[in-house]
Amino acid sequence: MPAQNLYTHQTENVAKTWALMAIFLGLVVLVGFAASWYFNSAAILYGAIAFALLTNIWSYWNSDKVAIALSRAEPADPQRYIELHRVVENLAITAGLPKPRVYIINDPSPNAFATGRDPKHAAVAATTGLLELMDRSELEGVIAHELSHVGNRDILVSTVAVVLVGVVALVSNFFLRMSFWGGGRDREERGNPVLAVIAILFLVLAPLIASLLQLAVSRKREFLADASGALLTRYPEGLASALRKLELHSVPMRAANSATAHLFISNPFGAREAGKGIANLFSTHPPLEARIKALVGGE
């Protein structure tokens, strides 16, 4: 794919990602508003917004530690994994980024992820299966993809999305339970019962809407990182070849976790099945075939 198209691809996805995040934040406000109207309490709206802000602040400082722990990643020994350290360091220099901390995951399933709140506090992790499967150019493509997540500052965006999904689900579930036990406005206060039904329906559907928005954000991030990674190595075929191997070796990871699935370059629950049929609607990643086509066209 020509460089100009990659830059266009990057610009478009940055705009779409931030647009989705704006919608996401609006959804949190709407959930709080619907609940505050139904229960006739403005404090609920303020409380929901405050809770979302506090959880976002906590996740900002601790998201990398949580992701590394859940993935069972360990610091990569500089001597044993010297090739991995060299690739990460060389590409970080090329990208103008500080060298991130390097971790290894003892898992035969090939995969990798990046995490951290900013380039100075970033970390890159790769599985032992990835190192065994990829040649040098393919490994560079994968690491360039992960460093692009760091350089594009979209790791924090995805973390915020994950937290907001949890906040929406918790708030919706809490208020639905309250309404079930008879809380909220009485019939005269509600005025139009249709509005009450709409408020309850919105609280029921809000977690599903939030999850779909999270998936959309994750998918845009992957296309953006693919494009940026190809620009970094100046060799799109390296990453494309790595993605082909990931598609053929679609084995679930031992420590696959839905909370961190969106961080990995390939779906840790199995890339091949995740992109098929209706399952694609609820996958954190776009089909690998579509990503390969975006990189090298219809080859």
Per-residue pLDDT of 249-298, as tens digits, reads 878 898 887 767 778 999 888 755 555 544 455 566 788 989 999 998 75
Helix (H) or strand (E) holding 156: helix 154-180
**pLDDT higher than threshold 80 for residue 20:** no
In this structure, of 52-56, 71-75, 174-178, 281-285, the range with the lowest mean pLDDT score is 281-285
pLDDT given for residue 188 in this prediction: 47
Whole-prediction pTM value? 0.75
CA 215-165-25 angle, 5° bins: 95
Active site positions, annotated: 146
- In angstroms, rounded to a whole number, what is the distance separating the alpha carbons of residues 5 and 89? 27
Domain ranges of the chain: 3-61+154-208, 69-153+218-296
- In angstroms, rounded to a whole number, what is the distance separating the alpha carbons of residues 84 and 125? 10
- On average, the pLDDT of the chain sits at 79
| Fold category of 69-153+218-296 in CATH | Zincin-like (3.30.2010)
Q: How many other β-carbons are positioned within 10 Å of the β-carbon of residue 227? A: 29
In this structure, of 41-45, 54-58, 83-87, 132-136, the range with the lowest mean pLDDT score is 54-58
In this structure, of 3-7, 37-41, 127-131, 193-197, the range with the lowest mean pLDDT score is 3-7
118 contacts 153 by C-beta, under 8 angstroms: yes
Strands (E) located in 156-279? none
Upper half-sphere CA count for residue 198 (Cβ side, 13 Å)? 9
CA 25-12-3 angle, 5° bins: 145
pLDDT given for residue 76 in this prediction: 97
| pLDDT tens digits, one per residue of 58-73 | 777 787 888 899 899 9
Nearest to 63 by CA among 26, 13, 116: 116
Contacts of 181 (CB under 8 A, 6+ apart): none
SS3 115: strand
10 contacts 18 by C-beta, under 8 angstroms: no
Which of the four pLDDT bands, split at 50, 70 and 90, describes residue 2? Answer: very low
| pLDDT tens digits, one per residue of 219-252 | 778 888 998 999 999 999 999 999 999 988 878 8
- In angstroms, rounded to a whole number, what is the distance separating the alpha carbons of residues 103 and 105? 7
Strand-strand pairing, 101-105 and 112-115: unpaired
Expressed in percent and rounded to 5, the helix, strand and coil fractions of the chain are 70, 5, 25
Residue 192 gets the label, from left (phi > 0), alpha (psi -120 to 50) or beta, of beta
CA 25 to chain centre: 16
